[in-house]
Amino acid sequence: MRIERGWRLIVALLIAAAFAVPALAQQPAEPPAAAPAPTAAPPKPKPKPKPAAAAPTAKPAGPAVAAAGGAQPKLLGQYGEWGAYTASPSGKKVCFALAKPTSSETVPPNRPRNPVFMFISTRPADKVTDEVSIVIGYPFKPGSEASADISSTSFALYTQQDGAWIKNAADEASMVSAMRAGGSMVVKGASAKGTQTTDTFTLKGASQALDRIAQECK
């Protein structure tokens, strides 16, 4: 699925507004490398890989985000660390489950990053159900893969800019099923600067949050 500029801006608004509800603190932004990094890069629909072409730079969230979206997410329920939300940007209903990691490590240690999120979205108008995406808080090393481990199962992740999605779309349903049954997910990746990261997400409450958004976005 192609990245649509309008959708990227709308989701940036949804993320900012959703986390304004529980009022969770943000982390400091990572200093720019060769190019400025997005200030609060949002989860977005999975793009198609472009082996030969460089990915466009995402614009940071700001006043243009609010102008583009104008949608206020509604908290449907909080299930452990997982929140279930719905919103209707541009009149198209979307539902999403959202969580932050319970622990994060970097090598070298204590490297600053933008906030990290896992985002599972359902968009009936686009015929998308339970699309898993992760915003990692820094630009990934170009051309690199990340990984998501649930119990003894490992899923390869395709990366672009600061986002990661499951590499093999056919495995996405299996990944979501593993999330429903698992206790935690460990996501590993590498930044453009060479920083190695390990983020652990609790999966307690994920199944209930997914059930709630499935009920809302049938």
- The residue count of the chain comes to 218
Torsion of CA 165, 169, 171, 176, to 10 degrees: 50
Closest CA to 29 of 138, 145, 139: 138
Contact assessment for residue 31 and residue 138, using Cβ atoms and an 8 Å cutoff = no
Each domain of the chain, given as residue ranges in start order, spans 75-216
Q: What is the pLDDT along the chain (218 residues), one digit of tens a residue?
A: 433 334 444 555 566 566 555 443 333 344 444 433 333 334 456 665 544 433 333 333 332 223 224 568 899 999 999 999 999 988 889 999 999 999 999 999 999 999 999 999 999 999 999 999 999 999 999 999 999 999 999 999 999 999 999 999 999 999 999 999 999 999 999 999 999 999 999 999 999 999 999 999 98
Contact assessment for residue 176 and residue 130, using Cβ atoms and an 8 Å cutoff = yes
Residue 114 to residue 77: CA distance in whole angstroms? 25
The pLDDT score that the predictor gives to residue 137 is 94
Query: β-strands 163-166, 145-150: how paired?
Result: unpaired
Closest CA to 58 of 162, 166, 192, 135: 162
Contact assessment for residue 156 and residue 99, using Cβ atoms and an 8 Å cutoff = no
Sign of the torsion angle spanned by Cα atoms 141, 131, 179, 103: positive
Question: What residues have CB less than 8 Å from 89, skipping those under 6 apart?
Answer: 10, 11, 13, 14, 69, 70, 71
Is the domain spanning 75-216 CATH 2.60.40.730? The answer is no
The pLDDT score that the predictor gives to residue 73 is 87
Helix or strand holding residue 16 (H, E) = helix 5-20
The DSSP letter of residue 191 is B
Q: What is the pTM of this model?
A: 0.73
